[in-house]
Amino acid sequence: MTRALLVTNPAAARTEARAVTAVRETLRGGGWDVEVLATLGPQDARRFAAEAPAQGFDVVVCYGGDGTAMQVAAGLVASGAEIPLGLVPGGTGNLLAGNLRLPRNPAAAARALLTARPHAIDLGVVERRDGPHYFAVASGAGFDARLMAETGAAAKQRWKFGAYVARAVASLGEVRSAPHRITVDGVAHEVGSAMLLVMNCREIIPPFVGLGKAIAPDDGWLDVVALRADNVMESAQAVFQALSGRANGRVWWGRGRTIRVEVLGGAPEPVQVDGEVLGETPFEARLLPGALKVLVDRG
């Protein structure tokens, strides 16, 4: 019998008691032995996951958003065990689940876990003063990080991902580029950028908006894209060009395993790691190949 630890985040935008019950009962109906733990603080999910292997669990299921999922992933990586992560989307963005084409309905996602198989994906890690922070989708600096920092919890709970969209539209007139030094595997490049992303997954709004053509969470690379824009029109042009996946006048691409980002001669910019705002630039993202096993459809 599969022993599963179900970690839930009551603060996530879509986490409700009825949905947690539906997930638990769906897994139990499939023959799994399920224990439920709810987070009360920011480090609880990481601690629960780190302790799970020693407690005899075969899988850790996360019902929450990308932030909770990365806390669980951090705990699993720290444990050194290779038990897999099962994802049940329950937050604001759910970008990792979207990139992996997992069902958005909690009960449907739980049913899919019953027949899923472990698949190893890469992670990125950013070291900060309080320790390592992991990302499975993207880290970044500039416009996107500022957007996440300025979108309030109440708006996210009410409007879900639409809260980010509304804030982005309201802020487009404030977009400005700054000179950056982007060092890719030891080679430095000076690039103007208003928004910079270090990407492990292709889609920033699954399944509708994806950047590049060959980015995949299991390809052994981090891809970095910098968009240069100084007003609304230039922002639209930069995004349109980035969708093509080619370098051009407003878009710069790089690929490597260690990416360092610094702002040259200007104010530091906010930094985000899978939606979690982590202070300001500079930052360095490092690839951890195949670091996390995720339960996905056998296809």
Half-sphere exposure for 170 (CA within 13 Å, toward CB): 10
Contact yes or no for 224/141 (Cβ under 8 A): no
Q: Which residues, 6+ apart, have CB-to-CB distance to 204 below 8 Å?
A: 95, 137, 138, 197, 210, 211
CB atoms within 10 A of CB 18: 8
Residue 45 backbone dihedrals phi, psi, to 5 degrees: -60, -40
The reported pLDDT for the residue numbered 176 is 85
The reported pLDDT for the residue numbered 156 is 54
Q: What SS3 state is found at 133?
A: strand
Distance of alpha carbon 253 from alpha carbon 281, whole angstroms: 19
Contact yes or no for 125/246 (Cβ under 8 A): no
- In this structure, the strands spanning 222-227 and 209-210 are unpaired
Amino acid at 213: K
The reported pLDDT for the residue numbered 159 is 45
Residue 33 backbone dihedrals phi, psi, to 5 degrees: -95, 115
Contact yes or no for 141/269 (Cβ under 8 A): yes
Taking 50 as the pLDDT cut, the residues of the chain under it are: 13, 155, 159, 163, 166, 169-170
Q: Taking the model in full, what pTM does it have?
A: 0.90
Contact yes or no for 66/274 (Cβ under 8 A): yes
- In this structure, the strands spanning 131-135 and 117-128 are antiparallel
- Structure-block tokens of residue 252: 């710069």
- The angle at the Cα of 299, spanning 219 to 8, to the nearest 5 degrees, equals 80
The reported pLDDT for the residue numbered 243 is 67
Distance of alpha carbon 244 from alpha carbon 196, whole angstroms: 16
The reported pLDDT for the residue numbered 166 is 46
Distance of alpha carbon 127 from alpha carbon 285, whole angstroms: 8
- Structure-block tokens of residue 287: 């690839």
